[in-house]
Amino acid sequence: MQPGLEGPSQAELEEWNTQLQEIGEQYQALMQELFEQRAPDAAADSIQADIRDAFQAAAESLMRNPQRLWETQARLVQDQFQLWQQGWRALAGESVEPLVTPAKGDRRFKDEAWHSDPYYQAIMQQYLLFAHAVDELVDDLDGLPEQQKRNLAFYSRQMVNAMAPTNFITTNPEVMRRTMETRGQNLVEGLERLRTDLANSADGLNVTMTDRSAFEVGKNIAVTPGHVVYENELIQLIQYAPSTETVFKTPLLVVPPWINKYYILDLREDNSFVKWLVDQGHTVFLISWRNPGPEQRDLTWADYLQMGPIDAMGAIEQATGEKSVNLLSYCIGGTLAASTLAYLTSTRRGRKVKSVTYMATLQDFRDPGELGVLLSEPVLEGIEAKMEQDGYLDGRSMAYTFNLLRENDLFWSFYVSNYLKGETPAAFDLLYWNTDGTNLPAGTHAWYLRHMYLENRLVEPDGIELDGVKIDLRKISTPSYFISTRDDHIAKWNSTYYGALLPKGPATFVLGGSGHIAGIVNPPHKDKYGYWTNDELPDDHEAWLAGAEYHEGSWWPHWQAWMTGNGYADPQKMVPARQPGDGELPLLEEAPGRYVKTTIPEVLGETATSSEG
């Protein structure tokens, strides 16, 4: 022992020993639960097989060109030697420039120790050099089909990011400090949280992202006043109370996605799109989808169309006397809205919709992005087999998949803070919504994944048949407004753009800043992100952007001007404000209604476990 340094006291040793025993017991219990709960299934097996095939193809490509592998290894060895030299110089007290630094926006290495402590700086640089080498190796592979190369890049990125030194106790300076300060209590609490999250997960691991006890649907989120005025097996229809003395004559029907819940559009008063729409003078009706379980296994896309928008339009006519509506749709709700319009057009009822808005909506699935990695034919067959067995796709599995598209921000950052640091997640309404998932009926979702994502049949004339009616998006004459977002990784704008080229009616395309959520839910008072407009619709999305004009702020007022300027919401035809219950429909319950409050564990008869109280 060095002079001047004192060893731990007997009491400290006993405290550490107690903590280590507790950690060991928690770990053993965790392994037992993993062994009991994680039975293999067809979906997981198909993904594992696809991963093996991708890496096998990469190995065969390298065998055909061993020079490339040798060059990559030689460069990595050279970099390691330089790093070793720099390490010695740093230990000698010399100031040296790092050989490699984290990419801008990489928040994993923000702690000062990664940049000031030679030990941690060396670990970080070794990892980054290795990560760069893997990226270059995958990029340079020859002879692989584009889809397989994309899959390989995704899988290798997942593996490399899982190996980051930030994800391990002894190579993360923040975790080491925390462990020493708490004498391991952070690890005890972290293991408890990990066991709780595993118990509340389906496939994979759904990490707790927020303090769920801080929110309650209908209490401090989804609070815009209104009533449920209609319901069937699949939907509750909410009519919101007006906030203006007069309203536009044509009602507005909002068709949200049923992957997650509608209240992303009604989180808080200051960012609620629903409240803003009401305040602009719209009579707003909104579909609240049921959270389905095994009993709804046979629901089809046609059922969603009939019991969703079409039934809702019939109910709105009863409530207001109006025979037509304006449609406002989001994500998969927009894909359904396009199907509905094509169906109505083919059955000569297209005039029931005066205008349609598509927010971050895929109609042309030519580039599904990284979601396409998990929707190849063999993987899809495994997912279909799993859904056929269960009758539904567990929404927690879907959430885990979406989180892996942004794994460092939406998975590993919470993994480190929750399980290694033992921290309690902060209260954040958006992340509460993100973890309040919905199941997906087998009959609907399997059909959607195959016909839309894999085969891209919605864009084909008569490529889709619903209730015996062949539909064609090119026949739609309803005026349409498309809003997509530039950084969207779920509905990529270089695919959503081509939906605007399909209908024969007038179409407007607008590109917002930011991503799938923030770029859409972008209230004007925040003055963020901006948007691009272009009156022309060239055949290529890049040509559209090259000729587009940038505007500051939110796209919401632009949309409202489009609605009023074209008379879809006609300022010259205002009527007295409509209160829920004024028409023929009775008030069933106050908004937000019971459908949106139903959780996955409740649907499946599980008991959710909570470590947050």
Among the residues of 405-454, which ranges form H helices?
407, 413-415, 429-434, 442-448
Residues with Cβ within 8 Å of 506's Cβ and at least 6 positions away in sequence, in order, are: 479, 480
Q: Containing H/E element for 246?
A: strand 246-248
Task: Name the catalytic one among 90, 164, 327, 331.
Answer: 331
Please report the pLDDT score of residue 273 as a whole number: 98
Task: For residues 611 and 192, give the distance between their C-alpha atoms in angstroms, rounded to a whole number.
Answer: 8
Of 580, 579, 531, 581, the C-alpha closest to 554 is: 531
Task: Find the helix packing angle between 146-162 and 118-139, rounded to 10°.
Answer: 170
pLDDT confidence of residue 146: 84
CB 507 within 8 A of CB 500: yes
Phi, psi torsion values for 306, nearest 5 degrees: -70, -50
Residue ranges in the chain whose pLDDT is less than 50: 1-5, 610-613
Residue 18's pLDDT is 74
Residue type, 591: A
The number of angstroms, rounded, from the C-alpha of 390 to the middle of its chain's C-alpha atoms is 23
Calculated CA dihedral for residues 240, 244, 248, 254, nearest 10 degrees: -30
Contact call for residues 554 and 233 (beta carbons, < 8 A): no
CA distance 518 to 522: 6
Q: How many Å apart are CA 290 and CA 312, to the nearest integer?
A: 14
The confidence score (pLDDT) of residue 37 equals 54
What was the pLDDT predicted at 89? 77
585-588 contacts at long range (C-beta below 8 A, 24 or more positions apart): 585/229, 585/230, 585/239, 585/315, 585/318, 585/319, 586/229, 587/227, 587/228, 587/229, 588/227, 588/228, 588/229, 588/230, 588/231, 588/236
- The token duo for 453 is 């994502």
**E strands in 317-434:** 325-330, 353-359, 392-393
Contact status, residue 439 vs residue 291, Cβ threshold 8 Å: yes
d(CA 202, CA 545): 41
- The contacts of residue 81 (CB under 8 Å, 6+ apart) are none
Q: Among 577, 559, 579, 578, which residue's Cα sits nearest to residue 569?
A: 559
User: Contact, 202 vs 397, CB < 8 A?
Assistant: yes
pTM: 0.89
445, 43 contact by CB (below 8 A) = no
Q: What pLDDT is attached to residue 4? A: 43
For 141, the token pair is 């592979």
Give pLDDT tens digits for 11-22: 766 766 776 677
CA atoms within 13 A on the CB side of 16: 9
Q: Is 331 a catalytic residue?
A: yes
| Helix %, strand %, coil % of the chain (to 5) | 50, 10, 40
